[in-house]
Structure 1
Amino acid sequence: MPMSTLARASRWALLPLLALAACTSAARDPTPPAPPAPSVAPLLADAAEPSRPAATPVPPVAAGALNLVRAFIDAPYRVVAVARNPYAPYTLIVANERAAPSCGSETEPARCAPDDTCGSRHTAPTCFFFVEPTTDPATGDAGEAATRYVTRWPDTPGENALATDSLRFVDERTVEFRARNDDASFEEVWWLDLVTGAVAMQSRR
C-alpha cells in the first residue's frame, strides 16, 4: 500500500479515539455546574402597610360643661398646687392671679410674668390658700361642706417664691411649705394653720 494511502487511513482510524478521549475528559472535569440564579424577594415597599386605628371622634360638650370650660379659661386665677390632707377629708389648693398674656409679639404672644408659682417679685405676687372638701372613701364623710378661703401669703412679695412641690401636712390643721429664690440657694420654711389662717416662718437658710 502506498505511504500516502496508509497515512490517510491512520488519520481516519484515530478520529474515533480522539472523540472518545474528549468525552472522557469532559466527564471527569471537576468544575461544578453554575448554581441557579437566586430568586428575588419582594421589596419591602411592595408589602402591605399595617392598618392604622381609626381616629376617635371627640364627643360634643354639653351646654353646662361648655360653660364650665369657658369659665375656667376666662378665670383670672391659676391653680399652682394641690395637696390632699392624709389626716382629714379635705384638700388644700393654692392659686394665684394669672399674668397678663399681652407680652411678647403678635406672632409669639407670652405672659408678662411666670405665674406657675407665686409669692415673689419675679412671679405672681400673692398666693391664695383654699380648703376643698374631699369625701373619705372609708367613712363617706365629706368633711367641710364647702370650699373655704383660708389666707393669702406673703404680705409683701420678696425674692423667694412658693416651691409648689413642697406642701406637706404636719397634722390635721398644719401645712408646711417652702419658699425659694431662683437658684434655690436660699430657702425659708413656713407653717400655715388652716383653721386660723395664721402663717409663721419656722426657719431660713
Structure 2
Amino acid sequence: MLSHPDCSCLADAPLKRLSLQTGEGFLKADVFIALHDGKPVICKDYQKFRGSWLSWPAQFLVRREARMLEYLSDWPHSPRLIGVMGKLVLMLEYVPGELLSEYMGSGSPLCFSQLVAAMQSLHKLSITHNDVRGNNIILGQDRVVLIDFAGALRGRGPGRFLLSPLRRADMAHLLKYKRRLAGEEATEEEKRRYRKASWIGMLQRLWKKRLLPHLKRRPSESGDSVSRP
C-alpha cells in the first residue's frame, strides 16, 4: 500500500518550496522541491487539473508511476517513492545530481557505461522506460538515476511481445548521449542493433502531430475550466 504522509510542510511557506518545473504541456505536472520531515523531497503536483476532465488521466498517471516505483523499490537507479498525497501528487526521493540535459562536464566512458548498465538491468526486469531523454536522467554523486516512469511498461502476459522493440527504442535514445558522455560516436553495429522500429516512430509522430494538438485544444473548446487548489 502507498503511504500518505503528513504534508503540512507543503501548505504554504514559499521558502520551503523550490520550483523545478512549471508544467505547461499536456498533462505536465508542476515539479518542486519541498521539505518533509526536515528532508528535501521531490513533489510532482497535478492538482491544477482538479475539477477538469484532465483530472482523471492525471490520477491515472499518478497511480501508474507510484505502482512502478513500488515495484522498483530495490532497483538502485530509480528514485524511492515517499508516498501519494490525495490522488494528484507524488512525493519522491530527492536525488542530488545534475540532469544529463544540463551536463557541461567533459564526460567519461565509465559514466556512459554505467548508464547503459542501468538501462540493461531495467530491461532484465521486463520493464522499458519509453521516455529516455536528458531531462529524465540524473547523473548523481554515486549512481545514475532514471526519473519519470509514468510511461514505463512492464511486459506481462500478452504485452511481452512489445518488450523487444521498446528495449531497442530505449537504447537508441541512450546512444544519442554517447558522444557527450564517452567522447565517441555510436558504432555502426550499435546503430544497427538498436535501430528503432519504424512503427514506433510512426506512432510517436502521430501522437505529437495529430493527437496531442487536438487534446491541448479540448479544454478551451469544450468550455472546461481548470481550477487551482
Same fold at TM > 0.5? no
TM-score interval for Structure 1 and Structure 2 normalised by the shorter chain: under 0.3
Which structure's CA Rg is the greater one? 1
Structure-2-length-normalised TM-score: 0.21
Q: Which has the higher helix share?
A: 2
Q: Which has the higher strand share?
A: 1
Q: Which protein, 1 or 2, shows the higher relative CO under an 8 Å CA cutoff with sep ≥ 6?
A: 2
